[in-house]
Amino acid sequence: MARRTLWFMGVALAVGMVGFALPGRASETRMAMRIFFQDEDAQTLKWADVPAGGTAVGVVADVPGFPRLDTERQSLVQMAAASGLLMVGVRDDDDGNFQSGWVLVDTGVEAEDHGDHSHWRYVRPPRVRAVQLDTQQGNPAHLYCYDGVFYLANDQKSGFTRLDPGSISPADDAAAIRQKSRFISGGGGHITLAVHNRSLAFATWIDREGPNKGRVDIAALSPAGAPAAVGSIYLPTGGLHGATACQGKVFLAPADGICWINVNLPLPLDPKLLAIHHVALGRVDDKPLRTGAFHTLGKHVGFVTGAGKHAAVCFVDASQSQLDLIRVPLKMADDNRPTGPALVQPRKGPPLAFVFHDHPADVEAPNRLTIVELDPNRDGSWKDARIAQELDVGKSRVVGHSGHHHVDFDADGRYAVFTNPGDGTLVLMDLVRRSVLAEARVGGAPSQIVAVGGRATKD
């Protein structure tokens, strides 16, 4: 295992050209990607362009028109991008009775699909397209994008909002966009979601005891008509937090290990026919290990579990009829817990997983990043996954669910960009060489980040 320490170039924000210095002005610089990141201090959304070559991050600015939130009472939660639009969730401190909901942003980046690749154009600066903030949105925490459609969990409404960005036209105003969103009942408490093939949604209940322990509600989705409740299933243990869909299977994260279900079945679906499979992750101090979130890349599902010397990153090949657990020990410091894994296929070389070593803000522990090679021999199986590199990184600032390191990647697999919330910095990496190209001091507490687009097409 190669071990390195991050070296920073100390690139000032003024270095490099921005994609759009002024609204509407065409860029003379070829762009590699556009990044959007949340500043947890200001509870706002910021953006910057990264010029091709990856030697700097362009000038950082607030997204024009983004609503001013009450930093004492509201916070930004998860976000995702699809079809040139970015959806951001907003949560409040009063179960949604103050103001919660979502904001939809036009990224200003357009993709022209060419089958095995896309041509990217940075045609305008970002702008807010629609805002839905009121007392009726149920205080969302989790936001997902499945098959190019957004799903926002409305925790206190026991349901979720579906919004298809592909249905939004340039002529739609904010009111028209809000009308395209659909509320669907399902899930409860603190909802996580999996959606299979745009047709079936699985919404979890977080209850550890009682009648909703282990409950997962199923809804049939129809873009042309009203959603229909299919029924519910019940896992062996409760405390569900984490869900995803991959290769015709739904994966769920209860208090003990993970569960998976084959849902690639004829419709209408009968919940009684769904067999629940359990995969144990081991035990520590006689307590079962679990996970809290899943990430997918192609036919594989990844997740982390444990802490300190028991920390591991795990993978399963969802295309198989029987799932074998692939486990890579991480050997973290005692007070660290793994965050991730973020999965990516670089332009060259094997796929990679990025896992950060995070800890509460009041704990002294190393801030590190582990990079895992997922298929070193390139045979399509991740059974040979191995730690390739460990790096010292800037500080996290973890308080509850906030303050974690986050990373995202350009569409071409050239670059990674990650946040250091405790240092107020962004770090740009070359994915193929796995080396740091630049550090940008942006101030505040940069946390969640989304990269949009790849290298701009030459006219």
Q: Coil, helix or strand for 98?
A: coil
Question: Helix or strand or coil: residue 271?
Answer: helix
**pLDDT band (50, 70, 90) for residue 109:** very high
139-154 pLDDT, tens digit each: 999 999 999 999 999 9
**305, part of any domain:** yes
Structural domain includes residue 252? no
Which residues are registered as beta bridge partners of 90?
76, 101
**In the prediction, which pLDDT does 280 show?**
98
C-alpha pair distances (Å), 141 with each of 71, 76, 190, 418, 442: 16, 9, 8, 21, 25
The pLDDT assigned to 7 comes to: 37
pLDDT in tens, 364-381: 999 999 999 999 999 999
- Asked if residue 170 is part of any domain, the answer here is no
Phi, psi of 174 (to 5 degrees): -60, -40
Q: Is residue 57 domain-resident?
A: no
pLDDT for 2 beyond 60:
no
Q: Which amino acid is at 456?
A: A
CA-to-CA distance for 18 and 28, rounded, in angstroms? 9
15 has pLDDT over 50 = no
Query: Which domain covers residue 349, as residue numbers?
Result: 290-390
Compute the average pLDDT of residues 11-39. 59
Q: pLDDT tens across 43-74, in order?
A: 999 999 999 987 889 999 999 999 999 999 99
Instruction: Note the pLDDT tens digit of each residue in 277-327.
Output: 999 999 999 999 999 999 999 999 999 999 999 999 999 999 999 999 999
Q: Of all residues in the chain, what percent carry a pLDDT higher than 70?
A: 92
The count of structural domains within the chain is: 1
Predicted confidence at residue 24, as pLDDT, reads: 36
Identify whether 275 is part of a domain. Answer: no
Q: Would you tell me how many other CB atoms lie within 10 Å of the CB of residue 262? A: 15
Residue 167: what are its φ and ψ, rounded to 5°? -90, -5
Residues with Cβ < 8 Å from 90, sequence gap 6 or more? Answer: 69, 74, 75, 76, 77, 99, 100, 101, 102, 103, 133, 140
Provide the pLDDT confidence category of residue 20 given band limits of 50, 70 and 90.
Answer: very low
Q: For residue 424, tell me if it sits in a domain.
A: no
Q: Give residue 28's pLDDT.
A: 60
Number of Cβ within 10 Å of residue 169's Cβ equals 9
pLDDT at 240 exceeding the cut of 50:
yes
Asked whether residue 69 is assigned to any structural domain, the reply reads no
- Whether the per-residue pLDDT at 14 is higher than 50: the answer is no
